[in-house]
Amino acid sequence: MMQAEIVAIGTELLLGVTVDTNSAYLARQLATIGVPVRRVTLVRDDLPEMVTVIRQASERSGLVICSGGLGPTGDDLTREAIAEALEQPLEFHQFLLDDIAARFAAFKRTMSPSNRQQAFVPRGAHILRNPRGTAPAFVAQRGGRLVAALPGVPQELEYLTEHGVIPYLRDEHGLRNVIVVREVRVSGLPESVAGERIAEMMNLENPVVGITAKRGQHTIRIAATAGSHEEAEAMIAPLLETITRRFGEHLLGTETLEDRAGRLLAEHNSALLLREGAAQAAVFRRLTSVRTGEAALERGMVRLQRWQPEEGLLDERALEHAAHAMLDASTGGSENGLAVVVVPEEDRPDADYRTVHFLLSDGARTTYSTRGFDLRIAQGYDLVAATALELLRHWYETSIEEDRA
């Protein structure tokens, strides 16, 4: 199975002046022909460094794609670097210079003598003419290893990738595999615990298994490379079965935490009454950011109240009293109302973390808990919201299990 590396060239990338969006795009395009990207390297406009990086990449991987450094200026060194790394001299092509001259003429501009260097490519390279700019692309080869060069301008790079590099790799080198990616989400567990449950899977080479944490939930991603979609799905299926078994009630499937909470609200036809004290309405904003939550809001099923108890009265009894008062006022004591109260303790200058109180009640049943969060950062409030939504999810799903019993 061929693997690829991407070399993004340009001092401006390392200075943070320009963000490298090309590498992510190239990785997605290579996935369409079943070529996984194993490494991305950023290198400055320095010929010896570029030669070293390209040579080492080509020794590790069957395909290297370089972006940037094909312009007409003195720091555009990609052509020279690839030629030296592959030990193939640069050769001049008159038709490329004619293409460049014609483009300047079309814009009624005079071509600079420095543009001549763009008509040089390594000997024997497959040339990709560029109708979107002055820098042609090419794919050089030595010993079965391929090194492609693309201009760094995104619109040119994307055109030449889709109309040049990908068709060439597919048709001339038989790269026709597929990469199938499946994702499942889990919640209610620390990332470390979730990672431990799939630790041995993350050592696999194909499929590749990884986990990322975001917004209080974890996404487990499985990517399989195979000759067909059916074969890739067959490789993924047993891993999904194992993940489902190991995570049990913590499994969200393909839903997000807010998607699941919104769906459960709709299924129970339940009014959700939120009281958020100094919590930036984080639960309300996150729940109503998805279609199911937004629909519940439009039906009047989600209501928000600001509330902060008197100093010294922040405890389970105070929160339960507030919840019941809200239920009585909003639903007339209806059993289809659920009050969720989320209140952080007052900020203290000497404290890194603040305790947040959570209480859920439908008038007959109540659950209460406290957690610590760093609310000095925006992510802290997002985690508060995730905790409340996880408690909400658990509340409803526990109710479903009790009804079945």
The reply to whether 169 and 270 lie within a common domain is no
**257-268 and 378-404 helices, crossing angle to 10°:** 40
The reply to whether 45 and 91 lie within a common domain is yes
User: Whose CA is closest to 77, among 118, 132, 36, 129?
Assistant: 118
User: Whose CA is closest to 142, among 54, 18, 49, 216?
Assistant: 54
SS3 for 370?
Answer: strand
CA–CA separation, 298 and 295 (whole Å) = 5
The reply to whether 327 and 264 lie within a common domain is yes
The reply to whether 276 and 245 lie within a common domain is no
Number of domains in the chain: 3
The reply to whether 302 and 215 lie within a common domain is no
Q: Residues 167, 169, 174, CA angle at the centre, nearest 5°?
A: 105
CA–CA separation, 67 and 89 (whole Å) = 20
Question: 269 is in which domain, residue-wise?
Answer: 257-404
% residues pLDDT > 90 (the chain): 66
The reply to whether 185 and 164 lie within a common domain is no
The reply to whether 301 and 364 lie within a common domain is yes
Final residue of a structural domain among 219, 253, 287:
253
The reply to whether 169 and 200 lie within a common domain is no
The reply to whether 337 and 319 lie within a common domain is yes
Q: Residues 116, 117, 121, CA angle at the centre, nearest 5°?
A: 120
Q: Which CATH number belongs to the domain containing residue 90 in this structure?
A: 3.40.980.10
Q: What is the pTM of this model?
A: 0.81
Final residue of a structural domain among 253, 280, 305:
253
Final residue of a structural domain among 143, 173, 203:
173
The tokens of 334 are what?
Answer: 């209806």
Q: Which CATH number belongs to the domain containing residue 244 in this structure?
A: 3.30.70.2860
Q: Which CATH number belongs to the domain containing residue 269 in this structure?
A: 3.90.950.20
Each residue of 193-251: pLDDT tens digit? 999 999 999 999 999 999 999 988 999 999 999 999 999 999 999 999 999 999 999 99
The reply to whether 133 and 27 lie within a common domain is yes
Each residue of 138-152: pLDDT tens digit? 999 999 999 999 999
SS3 for 231?
Answer: helix
The reply to whether 229 and 375 lie within a common domain is no
Check: CB of residue 283 under 8 Å from CB of residue 290. Answer: no
